[in-house]
Structure 1
């Protein structure tokens, strides 16, 4: 017992460093913002259930989302350990000059399973973020701008039509939970790949997922309303996805970007966004006051 204690303390201390705590805080906030689409989807699909069953299905759906994310984290975490080279880019080079370049930059020449995961994940984040930003800028207003759910057609979401009491009686909790579990795999991909890009240790990623889902279970309605009132927060999170996608691609190419620079850029952007929100609120308050005093004078 005495022999294991120092090793356990040393392992725990590695998760209490400044970088680890910053990664945990930033990742938790990102997971919450990126989970808004999941909250919206769960709220819509559980709306098909009788009212007395919705609360249970909504909370259990979020717990399912947490389980799917942790499972994906463990799978991707295992794949990230595949560091042995699968092939060399110099062998595929069309010209000798390109082959010589890769021979001189061996870190970019060797391609492992980890590199492929990072490259595909980075491209996926870039594609997801750019598509969502385009949807928010070019799409029509309203609830459709919260998230681009598969099957969206402008009216009903994911093929879900306005619900009648007859339809609710035909829907089971098990069927709803199955659909939630299936869609959680799709919704979790961006957040899981984001976690891999922001933190190195699997425990940090799992803790961030557990905390974020706990917060979403407790404050799902408040978080959704806040993001709807302040769409720039979601836009900022999408811009972070682009940043993390570039980080993953650069790491796959053998030129990793220091996480310190990434965290500083995110913290600075969040501070600017906070100041913008404060300024917007202060501008709204005087306008109300002036309107009231103006009406009294007249």
Structure 2
């Protein structure tokens, strides 16, 4: 869930470097102890989180979805919503661990963190492994291209129609799944470590386009005018994300969803989404059940 690692600035070598420096940093500059807290018995996560005063969360570093400040402060649309809902549940804060998207669900299962809030977009395969909260954001996809989009890449169909095109994607990200579902051969996919690496790939002519969430690309473009961002792709599936929990933490998931539903009716929820560039009206009426039907 702008792992530029969905989308999570962020993965592989890039994330490894960021992870080494920032893994364990938490909001408010608190840190996650090595190995994290002990596994709580099934159904006891809420008691454990209240007692220790925080919930451990896997994040990327991909504004506007997630963001890690130079001081280690964790923010972004998803962590900010998670923090606010947790506080309604009596949990004082969250502690963020930067990790590649591909490692988020395995790390959750291994109890390295308690929840994922990183723009990890919903799709069938992920929904079979974790319990998502109701959606916090709904997102669109776009291409980052060289200035002027010289090869006219405006859709997923553009890629399947031209086997010479090379498309940069983040390993384990939702966009890689889009290409796999469209049966784009691996030979056409250029795997990049993070958002900045994807932009450098198209500027250096190692890729013809970079597939990433629209807002992620626009965030990158604020600091780099050397590439164009396409309109939202009409033939890419609509998706979105929310917090993802272990299936064994069903009681916590249910309690979280109850508070999230109430929080989404407040101005504070709208203010968080608007702060990070999201339209709060877009998520109204969209359900996890709907988004979990997305292939991939």
Say yes or no: TM over 0.5: no
Give the greater-gyration-radius structure (CA): 1
Q: Identify the structure with the greater strand proportion.
A: 2
Q: Identify the structure with the greater helix proportion.
A: 1
Alignment TM-score, normalising by the size of structure 2: 0.21
- Of structures 1 and 2, the one scoring higher in RCO (CA 8 A, sep 6+) is 1
Alignment TM-score, normalising by the size of structure 1: 0.21
